[in-house]
Amino acid sequence: MAGIAGVAAPGRQQQVECMLDSLSHRGRLGRAVLEFESATLGGVWPRAQAGWALPDRHSVRDGVGPGHCAAARVSDGVMFLERDALGVAPLYYGWTSEGLLCFASEVKALLKATNDIHEFPPGHVWEGQQLKPVFRLEPQAPIADPPERVAAELRRRLTAAVEGCVNGDVAGCWLSGGLDSSTLAALARPRVMNLHTFAVGMPGAPDLAHARQVAEHVLSRHHEVIVTLQDALAVLPDVIFHLESFDALLVRSSVTHYLVARAASDHVPTAFSGEGGDELFAGYQYLKSIEASRLGDELLDITGRLHNTALQRVDRCAAAHGLVPHVCFLHPEVLDYAMRIPVEMKIRQGTEKWILRRAADGLLPASVLTRTKAKFWEGTGMGDLLARYVDDRVSDGEFARERTLPNGWNLNSKEELFYYRIFKEHFGCAGDLAWMGRTKGA
C-alpha cells in the first residue's frame, strides 16, 4: 500500500523526505511532498495506486480505496487526518519536541520526527485541534430474512466488493485452501484474465494440498512457496522490522505471510486476502463455546481488535514488497451486512461460518465448503517450531530477568522475549508501546 507522512508546519520538506525514506518500500513508483502555510505533507505510492494516493495538490492517501484508507489534507489553512472505520490502513501520530503534530503510516517513519508515538484510532478524524470519532462498531438490529435470502445477498455484496478491487488483467490471491480465501479466489477468477494464487507451507503442510485443490478448481495460475525453519529464521529480523511488533502469535503467522507476499510480488501488483472472515462469521473454534446471547459482543470485540494485529500483519507483509492487499470481507457494504446477520446463522448446529458456507455453495468443492478453520501457522505446518527453537536458546533465568518490560508489560513466553530483543533494536525508543497491539488471550 501507499505510505504517507507529514508535519503540521511549513518548510519541513527535508524532514518529511527523511520520513518518506523509511516508507520507500510502500511506494516504489511515485513520491511527492506538498508544502502549505500550515503543514508539509508527503506520500509514496506503488504502481497499483498511481493516481489514487495523490488525488489532488491538497491531500495524500494511503489505503486500498474508499472505506479502507488513511488520509491527510489541508483545507483553509488547517491540517486534517482521518483513518478508516476498522483501521485497514495504518496511521500513527505524535508531537515533536517543538509541540508540532506529525504523522506517518509506520512507526519507523514517525521516529524520524519524534519518540512520542500513538496509534491513530480507527474511525477517527483530526480536525485541527482535537481527535473526534466518526464511526464505532456497535450492535445492529438483526436481519429477519430467511437463510437463503441472506446467503444470496451476502454473496452479491462479496461479489461487488471483489469486482470493485479488480483493476487490470492481473491479480493475485493468497490461498490457504480455507473457506475465506477460497471464496475470494472463486469470485475473482471470472473477473480477472490472469489470476495467480499463492500458497505457503512446509513440505507436506495441509494448506498446500487444500490450496492446490482450489487452484485446480478455479483454474488459476498457482504458485507454492515451500519453506523450512531455516527460511523462517533467515527473514525473522526483517519480518519484525516491517511488522513493528513482538507479539509472538502475530510474528509467528507473519513469517510465512511475509515469504508468500515476497513471492507474489514477482508476479502481481495486488493480492486478495481472506482476513476478516473469521471475525465476522464466527470462524474460530473457541467461539462455539460462547452462548448465543454473548456471541455478538465477542464478534464485535475481535473485529474491533483487527487494526493492530491481523490487519497489521496483512498490511506490513504486503507493503514490505510493494504489494497492495484487498480485504474484501471488510468492505463497508459487506461489513454492514455481516454485522446484521443473526449469530444463529453464523454458528448453526456446531458448524462455524454456516451462512458463509451457504453463500459460497456452488463456487467451491464440497471438501472446501466443509473444511474447519486452521490457524495460519498451523495450516502452513510451522506449528510451534519457532517456539521450540527459541526454548533451547533462552534460559529460564534470562526469561525471569527480562520478561517484565519498562512499561510494566509481561512477556508471555521465551519466544516473545526472543522477538522483543530484535524489536528493541529498532523500536526501543518508541514511547511506552501503548501503540502496539497484542493478540487477545495470548
The verdict on 97 and 159 lying in the same domain is: no
Distance CA 163, CA 145 (A): 25
pLDDT, residue 378, reads 67
Say if 425 falls within a structural domain.
no
Whether residue 347 sits in one domain with residue 218? yes
Residue with cell 507454492: 224
Q: Are residues 120 and 257 in the same domain?
A: no
What CATH code is carried by the domain that includes residue 102?
Answer: 3.60.20.10
Structure-block grid coordinates of residue 246: 513482538
Residue 314: per-residue pLDDT: 98
pLDDT above 90: residue 380:
no
233 within a domain of the structure (yes/no): yes
User: For residue 321, what is the domain's CATH number?
Assistant: 3.40.50.620
Q: Residue 80: give the domain boundaries.
A: 3-133
User: In the prediction, which pLDDT does 51 show?
Assistant: 80
Q: pLDDT tens-digit profile of 279-334?
A: 999 999 999 999 999 999 999 999 999 999 999 999 999 999 999 999 999 999 99
Q: Is 42 exposed, middle or buried (0-12, 13-18, 19+ CB in 10 A)?
A: buried
Instruction: Output the DSSP codes for 192-210.
Output: -SEEEEEEEESTT-HHHHH
Q: pLDDT class for 376, splitting at 50, 70, 90?
A: low
Residues in the chain: 442
pLDDT of residue 374 exceeding 70, the answer is no
Last residue of a domain, one of 354, 370, 386: 386
Residue 412 is assigned to a structural domain of this protein: no
Do 167 and 104 belong to one domain? no
Question: pLDDT at position 95, please?
Answer: 97
For residue 261, tell me if it sits in a domain. yes
Residue 375 has pLDDT above 70, yes or no: no
**Same domain as 93, residue 158:** no
Q: What is the pLDDT of residues 113-131, one digit of tens each?
A: 999 999 999 999 999 889 9
Q: Indicate whether 162 and 35 sit together in one domain.
A: no
Same domain, 107 and 153: no
Domain assignment of residue 407, yes or no: no
pLDDT tens-digit readout, 187-207: 999 999 999 999 999 999 989
Same structural domain for residues 277 and 308? yes
Tell whether 171 and 91 lie within a shared domain: no
Question: What would the pLDDT profile of 77-118 be if each residue is shown by its tens digit?
Answer: 999 999 999 999 999 999 999 999 999 999 999 999 999 999
CB count, 10 Å around CB of 82? 21
Starting from the edge strand earliest in sequence, which strands make up the sheet with 170-174, in order? 221-226, 194-201, 170-174, 270-272, 324-326
Structural domain tally of the chain? 2
Residue 377's pLDDT band, with cuts at 50, 70 and 90, is: low
Q: Which 8-state DSSP code applies to residue 410?
A: B
Q: Report pLDDT for 128.
A: 83
Both 81 and 105 in one domain: the answer is yes
Shared domain for 86 and 174, answered yes or no, is no
Could you please report the per-residue DSSP string of 70-81? EEEEEETTEEEE
Among 109, 133, 157, which residue terminates a domain?
133
For residue 38, tell me if it sits in a domain: yes
Whether residues 60 and 199 share a domain: the answer is no
Q: 236 lies in a domain?
A: yes
Q: Which of the listed residues 337, 361, 386 is the one where a domain comes to its end?
A: 386
Task: Please provide residue 312's backbone torsions phi and psi, each rounded to the nearest 5 degrees.
Answer: -65, -40
C-alpha cell at 290: 460462547
pTM of the predicted structure, to 2 decimals: 0.96
Residue 185 phi/psi, 5-degree rounding, is -65, -40
Q: Does residue 209 have a pLDDT over 70?
A: yes
Q: Look up residue 152 and give its amino acid.
A: A
* pLDDT > 90: percent of the chain: 88
In a domain, 399, yes or no: no
